[in-house]
Amino acid sequence: MEQKPSSPTLFELAHCTTQMHAQQTAAQQTAAAPQTHARELLDRLNRLIKLAQAQASGMNMSFLFDAERRLFSIGYNVQECRLDGSYYDFLASEARLASYVAIARSDVPNEHWFTLGRPFSVLDGRTTLLSWNGTMFEYLMPLLLKRVFSGSLLETAYKAAVARHINYGKARGIPWGISEAAFSALDNNKVYQYQAFGVPGLGLKRGLEQDLVVAPYASMLALPIAPQKAVANLKALESIGMLGRFGFFDSIDYTRQRRPEGERGVIIYATMAHHQGMSLVAINNFLNNNLM
């Protein structure tokens, strides 16, 4: 069976050599345009890489660390010149990626990792590490940049969280994957509102059962844990109109109080840059042996 030639990568296209003549025809100039654009984009990306590296190397994360509690504050109050009084204190949190980096850079002591809370419960017959909001984001976002270690506490938590999300969606007859996302409420400027949504029982926060918002990027994050089920779920989302020109729309809101009469759910026709970015990294990792 004849194989079709693959498309060149951005790097390959940027470094293609072309025979330039003093008198180029319009057709030759048109043919060379993709290479020129690729080189310009690659140069821009390299500048962004250097800028990001400079900012990262110049940052000391101990600024946000409470040495007495051995925890990171959620932020710094500029008006009052003090750390906020709330803390990232769960292991099952997206913030553990910051903890990991800070410890690796010696910005904070190793003991910080063991200070992070590890509350447990039994859900769907599985012993499960709990988070605050019960979102896929809290459990799976760090996997974009960190390995899954077989047999570890976190691997068990990943699998249990994905299983809980799948079962929760199945029980309600909807696609699975709940996380922080835009939802069907607009402010005075007609901008979609945004908040964290999660699965009851998996998150300790009260009131999680009051909302039902499914975000496609949550399925992307689940690719390293349950790839076949994640792809099947994305296909289900595509079948109900969730895939647009620039990728999947941010979410679909199944919350009864916010959907028009007669409609099953409300599609949020918006795209969030960070959700699209996480999706791209998750896909790249899945297709290229955890490249990141």
Q: Is residue 22 part of a domain?
A: no
Q: In which residue are the tokens 């990306």 written?
A: 45
Q: Is 190 found in the same domain as 131?
A: yes
Specify the pLDDT at position 160: 96
Quote the pLDDT of residue 138: 98
**Contact residues for 245 (Cβ-Cβ < 8 A; gap 6+):** none
Q: Which two tokens stand for residue 210?
A: 């009051």
- CATH number of residue 205's parent domain: 1.50.10.140
Q: Tell me the C-alpha to C-alpha distance, in Å, between residue 192 and each of 149, 158, 161, 238, 290.
A: 38, 30, 27, 21, 33
pLDDT given for residue 2 in this prediction: 53
Q: Looking at residue 217, what is its pLDDT?
A: 98
pLDDT at 263: 84
Domain contains 69: yes
What element of type H or E holds 282? helix 273-287
Query: Do 187 and 225 fall within a single domain?
Result: yes
Query: Are the C-beta atoms of 181 and 255 separated by less than 8 Å?
Result: no
**In the prediction, which pLDDT does 18 show?**
47
pTM of the model: 0.87
Tokens representing residue 252 in the block: 């679909």
Paired with 66 in beta bridges are: 71
The confidence score (pLDDT) of residue 8 equals 74
Residue type, 52: A
**Which residue among 95, 118, 141 closes a domain?**
118
Asked if 82 and 153 sit in the same domain, the reply is no
Write down the pLDDT at residue 203.
97
84 and 133 assigned to the same domain: no
Q: In which domain, by residue range, is 175 found?
A: 119-287
φ, ψ of residue 209 to 5 degrees: the values are -75, -10
Distance between CA atoms of 234 and 226, rounded to whole angstroms?
A: 12
Residue type, 141: M
255 in the same domain as 127: yes
Residue 243 maps to a domain: yes
Q: Is residue 143 part of a domain?
A: yes
pLDDT reported for residue 75: 94
Q: Determine the pLDDT at residue 31.
A: 56
Per-residue pLDDT, 15: 73
pLDDT-flagged residues of the chain (< 70): 1-6, 16-32
Domain count, the chain: 2
Same domain membership, residue 250 and residue 134 = yes
